Amino acid sequence: MSRIRNRVVWDQLKSLTAKDLIRALRRDGWEEEDRRGATCGFKKGDLRIVIHYHPKNTYQPKLLKALLGKTGWTEDDLRRLKLIK
């Protein structure tokens, strides 16, 4: 996720939960493809992403960076989806 380098943005994202991320994916047009236990698969065009759903837990920086990298979201997208201010 080389597009987001701003420290302020990362400080806002570190409290992102699976519930918040799933809500943002749905707002951005991702469709839920498969749900098995604690995993939710989402698809948008040719892109796919699997979210491990633990509603109140936050993600470690490395995993969050990988997840957001798969979405292709920029800082403007994160603002539009209300993940950051």
User: For 34-54, what is each residue's pLDDT tens digit?
Assistant: 888 889 999 999 999 999 888
Percent of the chain with pLDDT over 70: 94
> What pTM does this model have?
0.86
Cα separation, 24 vs 3, whole angstroms: 18
Of residues 17, 16, 49, the one with CA closest to residue 33: 49
Fold for the domain defined by 18-77: Metal Transport, Frataxin; Chain A (3.30.920)
CA 8 to chain centre: 17
| Domain ranges (residues) in the chain | 18-77
Predicted confidence at residue 6, as pLDDT, reads 79
